[in-house]
Amino acid sequence: MARIVMKFGGTSVADLSRIRHAARHVEREIKAGHQVAVVVSAMAGATNQLVEWCAEASPLHDAREYDAVVSTGEQVTAGLMAIVLQSMGITARSFSGWQVPIKTSDVHGAARITDIDATELNKRLDDGQVCVVTGFQGISPANRITTLGRGGSDTSAVAVAAAISADRCEIYTDVDGVYTTDPRIAPKAQRMVRVSFEEMLEMASLGAKVLQTRSVELAMAKHVRLAVRSSFDDPDAPQMAPDGSDTGVPGTLVCDEDEIMEEQIVSGVTLAKAEAKITLRGVKDHPGVAAAVFGALAAEHIVVDMIVQNVSDDGKVTDITFTLPDKEYDKAVKALENAGDGLEYSRIVGAKGGAKISVVGVGMRSHAGVASSMFKALADKGINIQLITTSEIKTSVLIDEEYAELAVRALHTYYGLDRQDA
Ligand code: ADP
Ligand code: ASP
Ligand code: MG
Structure confidence by residue, pLDDT tens digits, 190-248: 999 999 999 999 999 999 999 999 999 999 999 999 999 999 999 999 888 878 787 88
Name the residue of 182, 199, 226 to mutate for ligand 1: max ligand atoms within 8 A of Cβ.
182
Residues 312 and 379 in one domain: yes
Residue 96: give its domain's CATH number.
3.40.1160.10
In this structure, the strands spanning 130-134 and 35-40 are parallel
Picking from 237, 258, 279, the residue at the C-terminal end of a domain is 258
196 domain-assigned: no
Tell me the pTM: 0.93
The pLDDT, as a whole number, for residue 46 is 98
| Span 97-155, pLDDT tens digits | 999 999 999 999 999 999 999 999 999 999 999 999 999 999 999 999 999 999 999 99
Q: Among 258, 289, 324, which residue terminates a domain?
A: 258
Residue 154 shares a structural domain with residue 37: yes
DSSP assignment letter at 310: P
Decide which of 258, 293, 325 is a domain's last residue. Answer: 258
For residue 201, being part of any structural domain is answered with no
Which pLDDT score, from 0 to 100, does residue 422 have? 64
Give the closest residue to 387 by CA, choosing from 332, 319, 321. 321
Residue 186 covered by a domain: no
Do residue 299 and residue 243 come from a single domain? no
Give domain status of residue 253, yes or no. Answer: yes
- 45 and 71 together in one domain: yes
Distance 260 CA to ligand 3 centre (A): 25
User: How many domains in the chain?
Assistant: 2
pLDDT per position as a tens digit, 353-368? 999 999 999 989 888 8
Residue 181 lies in a domain: no
CATH of the domain at 359: 3.30.2130.10
> Could you give the percent of the chain with pLDDT greater than 70?
99
CA dihedral 210, 216, 222, 223 (to 10 degrees): 70
Tens-place pLDDT, residues 21-31: 999 999 999 99
- Looking at residues 334-341, what average pLDDT do you find? 86
User: Which runs of consecutive H residues, i.e. helices, occur in 353-403?
Assistant: 370-380
Whether residue 323 is predicted with pLDDT greater than 90 in this model: the reply is: yes
Q: Are residues 17 and 106 in the same domain?
A: yes
Residue 200 resides in a domain? no
Q: Are residues 316 and 222 in the same domain?
A: no
* 214 and 302 inside one domain: no
Determine if residue 248 is left, alpha or beta; phi over 0 gives left, psi from -120 to 50 gives alpha, anything else beta.
Answer: left
Shortest CA distance to 70 belongs to which of 135, 128, 25, 11? Answer: 135
Closest-lying ligand 1 atom to the alpha carbon of residue 12: 3
Task: Identify whether residues 254 and 347 lie together within a single domain.
Answer: no
Q: Of all protein residues, whose CA lies closest to atom 6 belonging to ligand 1?
A: 210
- CA of 1 from ligand 3 middle (Å) equals 28
Segment 50-63 shows an average pLDDT of 95
Cα of 314 vs centre of ligand 3, distance in Å, is 49
- The residue contributing the CA closest to ligand 2 atom 9 is 150
Q: Are residues 8 and 148 in the same domain?
A: yes
Residue 321: give the domain boundaries: 268-414
Residues 219 and 250 in one domain: yes
